[in-house]
Amino acid sequence: MNIVVFGSGAIGSLFGALLAKQNKVVLVGRAPHIKCIQQKGLTINGKTHLTVNVPAVESTKEVFLSADLILLTVKSYDTETASNQVRPLLHDQTMVVSLQNGLDNIEKIEQNIEKKHILAGVTTHGALFSAPGTIIHTGKGKTILGELDGRPSERLNMLISIFNQAGIETQMSIDIKREIWRKAIINSSINPLTAFLGCKNGYLLENPLLEKTVEYVCTESSRIASLKGIIVSPVEMIEKTKEVIRDTAENDSSMLQSIQQGKKTEIESINGVLLRIGTEQKIDTPLNRILFELITSLCLH
């Protein structure tokens, strides 16, 4: 399969490297990462050890391959630009798959790309940008892919088998939107709390007051999900969130890393969307509002 990975940072480079073993892959990303890959190949360390020579470019204008699959792996605040930039690569059968976190990526992609091309996914793999040309695979996880309308299509089956052949353990979902929501509910507490406090994920369960806060935020975010017809059990979401915290206890969350690096965060696409839904439906969402405002205030400096 011909695959373009658009936004080859941490997770995009990891998936690109694994898929490149059996597919034609082109990575699109930023210098100096791309320049290093062109010169020395792409190295994955950590849970995976791999160096691959894979074509890498800085713009879709340099992609001369008919793309069967475009993986979108930019941060959610870059989704609109990314979907606009990949549009010239599309042919009738091209699949565009978002592996991003956040609740508004699909609607942003739909502004530039016809719905029939779009599928969605979530992954619990962890990847960290170490240095140009080098990514650390911090945690092995699972990937779930689905059609937006939930149907188990032939192209989805093909995609899942290509991912599995590449060693990316992947399953199908007949309700991928629910999976995206579940991940966002988990992230709605872990990301902003760790980013604001400047702590590792595990600290949220070491401190009883923070553990309670995690529970309150999960409950509020689950209630907001139900306003959109996504029915999840708050108790199950609390348990799942605590499981993720335990599994990633030693990690800095992606939002904390963004704050530390003076970069934008994905707060708008997670707590920001939850807050917006509450406002639209005239439901008070004080915890998501506070977390959204705390993180936004940090980014103003």
Ligand X SMILES: NC(=O)c1ccc[n+]([C@@H]2O[C@H](COP(=O)([O-])OP(=O)(O)OC[C@H]3O[C@@H](n4cnc5c(N)ncnc54)[C@H](OP(=O)(O)O)[C@@H]3O)[C@@H](O)[C@H]2O)c1
State the catalytic residues. Answer: 183
Given 43, 94, 100, 241, the residue binding ligand X (CB under 6 A): 100
What is the DSSP secondary structure assignment for residue 53, as one 8-state letter? -
- Taking alpha carbons only, the member of 169, 286, 173 closest to residue 224 is 286
Q: Does the protein bind ligand X through residue 80 (CB under 6 A)?
A: no
Beta strand 134-139 pairing with 126-131: antiparallel
Amino acid making up residue 100: Q
| Sign of the four-CA dihedral 286, 287, 293, 297 | positive
Q: Are 123 and 142 in contact (CB under 8 A)?
A: yes
Q: Does the protein bind ligand X through residue 85 (CB under 6 A)?
A: yes
Q: Does the protein bind ligand X through residue 185 (CB under 6 A)?
A: no
Give 73 or 288: the residue with its C-beta nearer to ligand X: 73
| Sign of the four-CA dihedral 126, 135, 12, 51 | negative
Q: Does the protein bind ligand X through residue 211 (CB under 6 A)?
A: no
Give the x-and-dash track for 124-143 against ligand X (CB under 6 A): -xxx-x--------------
Residue 141 vs residues 47, 57, 97, 248, 276: alpha-carbon distances, Å: 10, 28, 18, 11, 30
How near is the Cβ of 6 to ligand X at its closest, in Å? 7
Q: Does the protein bind ligand X through residue 168 (CB under 6 A)?
A: no
How near is the Cβ of 89 to ligand X at its closest, in Å? 13
Q: Does the protein bind ligand X through residue 28 (CB under 6 A)?
A: yes
Q: Does the protein bind ligand X through residue 77 (CB under 6 A)?
A: no
Beta strands (DSSP E) in 82-117 are 95-98
How near is the Cβ of 212 to ligand X at its closest, in Å? 26
Give the x-and-dash track for 236-265 against ligand X (CB under 6 A): ------------------x-----------
Of 22-30, 45-53, 113-121, 235-243, the segment contacting ligand X by CB under 6 A is: 22-30
Give 124 or 165: the residue with its C-beta nearer to ligand X: 124
Residue 65 vs residues 88, 105, 225, 258: alpha-carbon distances, Å: 12, 25, 40, 33
Cis link prior to 88 (omega < 30° from 0)?
no
What's the rounded Cα separation, in Å, for the pair 65 and 59? 13
Given 2, 41, 48, 78, the residue binding ligand X (CB under 6 A): 78
Give 253 or 288: the residue with its C-beta nearer to ligand X: 253
How near is the Cβ of 154 to ligand X at its closest, in Å? 26
How near is the Cβ of 214 to ligand X at its closest, in Å? 19
Tokens of 205: 């369960």
Q: Return the SS3 of 154.
A: helix
- Taking alpha carbons only, the member of 243, 241, 138 closest to residue 184 is 241
Binding site for ligand X (CB under 6 A): 7, 9-12, 28-30, 73-76, 78, 81-82, 85, 99-102, 123, 125-127, 129, 254, 266
